[in-house]
Structure 1
Amino acid sequence: MGPMPHPAAPPLTPPGTRPCALPSAVLFDMDGTLVDTEPSWFAAEAQLVADHGGSWTETDSLRLVGWGLEDAAAELRRAGVRLGVRAIVDELLTRVVAATRARTVHRAGARELVEALRARGVPLALVTSSEAPLAEVVIASLGGPGVFDVVVTGDLGHPAKPAPDPYLRAAAALSRHPAGPPDPARMLAVEDSRTGIRSATAAGLCTLAVPHLVPVDDAGAHHVLPTLAGVGPEDLGRLVARARP
């Protein structure tokens, strides 16, 4: 018997409800939100620490979910990895990029939602703490260059999440969209980690949490859904409307 299908999220729009305005833009986190790369990060971290004679557990990896890569690398140094921070980042990226290129696992409903938003003309941004080489692999799996109007990666020199800078940078870039600047009050960020949620909310964005490996109930998201399966553009518009009366 094959794997059981992921249950769809409960309907957000009751039958017969009048259509709701779509979000003016949607800003997606990547790792754990659009793609399930976390097992690859966990394996790369554990193997790198083991290569240097240290000890690393899944609990250690879970603690780093959503962190910037340089911050995570500093933790691996404290666990015994005898490399500089940049060398650790490069080693982790090399391993995770290879694993993701070999097999990209999308989170339930994520690819379908991105496609539906593009079809409706909603501007999209990718806002990730990962660096460009991994983002390029994921973007290719979702339709290739151009599927996101704005791409903000962790190697652009800004402070990492939970600082608001990644989302502020993406919002500023979206304001130059050819169709006109999206209404900031109707932008929506989609995240899976406490770190990412705090970054998006600190940037003033309505934020939807879709938890994956870590609980996020205390992180301050405006909405929490168990999955993106069955979620469409109108559903996201309704969530923004609820948070921004």
Structure 2
Amino acid sequence: MSSPKPALVIVPGASHHPSHYTALATGLREANYTVTTVDLPSTGGKDRGEPPLTSLKPDILAIQAHITSHLSEGKNVALICHSFGGISGSAAAQGFLPTDREDGLGVVKMIYLAAIIVEPGKSVWEQGGEKHSPSVEFPLPDPEDAGWLRFRDPEKNFYAECTPEVQKEAISKLRWFSEGMNRELVPFSAWQHVESYYLVCGKDQVLPAFVQEMWTSNPKGKWKKVERMETDHSPFLSRTTETVEFVTRSLEGTS
């Protein structure tokens, strides 16, 4: 008898809102999966009058709240992590593996979409040579915005393969991101402990494909499948159907 389908938790990338992932979530629900998307504290606090974060912990706790909710319903969980969500999502799995729990439930798969991969004890800042990507604007010109960053040219860097209509809507939803998140040491990397799947985006202008491929060649990873799609940094918008298919293949263990 086949195992019940896991519940899915989508972990957004930096500056992204849960609504960016609506089409992906809808496609996965049509495939009969339970799906929730995390609204990360590190993104958008400026809009709520909150200061930027300097710790990964609030994001980790927000993700773990989703994990806990699904586990309480008797469902295993798979995390779908985009971009910087690869950091916070991977860290959030700590303590939530099936071997950590008496009921044997937990995070059973990690699915990464053009996601950042960092080993425990290191930071994104260190791994990037202690400099920001050219796509990042930091510091911002107004001193009152200290601690926040935003991304330059999202039309090119995030959504180059999307239609003009999708680009316009996606850009309108972008929020600022807490720059200090980049400097936090990663406490736990689930890809070293959990069956993991990665979608390399071949036309990514933020995280070059060769970097993504380097990360997924790390022998410490439990990489089950790595696929490549010739699209931009946001395959859930530019190639939604194909991304849903990649996720469902990963979940179902089919080639």
Given the two structures, how large is their TM-score scaled by the length of structure 1?
Answer: 0.34
The structure whose Rg is larger is 1
Bigger RCO of structures 1 and 2 (CA < 8 A, at least 6 apart):
1
